[in-house]
Amino acid sequence: MKTNKAGIAILHEFESCKLKAYKCPAGVWTIGWGNTFYEDGSKVREGDMITKDRADALFQNILSRFEDMARRSITSNVNENQFSAFVSALYNVGHGSKYKDGLIVLKNGEPSTLLKTINLNPDLPVIEKLFKEWISKGTSFEKGLLRRRTAEANLYFS
Contact 85, 149 (CB under 8 A): no
Q: Per-residue confidence at 138, pLDDT binned at 50, 70, 90?
A: confident
Q: Quote the Cα angle for 117-78-84, to 5°.
A: 95
Return d(Cα 14, Cα 34) in angstroms, integer. Answer: 9
Exposed (0-12), middle (13-18) or buried (19+): which is 154, by Cβ within 10 Å?
middle
Contact 24, 34 (CB under 8 A): yes
Residue 99 pLDDT exceeds 70: no
- Distant-in-sequence contacts of 119-124, Cβ < 8 A, 24+ apart: 119/73, 119/74, 119/75, 119/76, 120/76, 121/76, 122/76, 122/77, 122/78, 122/82
- For residue range 20-38, list pLDDT tens digits in order: 999 987 788 999 999 988 9
Which of 23-27, 53-57, 84-88 is predicted with the least confidence, judged by mean pLDDT?
Answer: 23-27
Residue 111 pLDDT exceeds 70: no
Higher pLDDT pick, 23 / 95:
23
5-156 belongs to which CATH class? mainly alpha
Residue 95, pLDDT score: 54
Residue 108, pLDDT score: 56
Task: Give the pLDDT mean for 69-76.
Answer: 89
Residue 146 pLDDT exceeds 70: yes
Q: Quote the Cα angle for 106-70-67, to 5°.
A: 115
What is the average pLDDT score of the chain?
88
Which residue ranges make up each domain of the chain? 5-156
How much is the pTM? 0.87
Q: Per-residue confidence at 142, pLDDT binned at 50, 70, 90?
A: confident
Residue 104, pLDDT score: 57
- For residue range 1-17, list pLDDT tens digits in order: 999 999 999 999 999 89
Residues 6 or more apart whose CB falls under 8 angstroms from that of 61 comprise 39
Length of the chain: 158
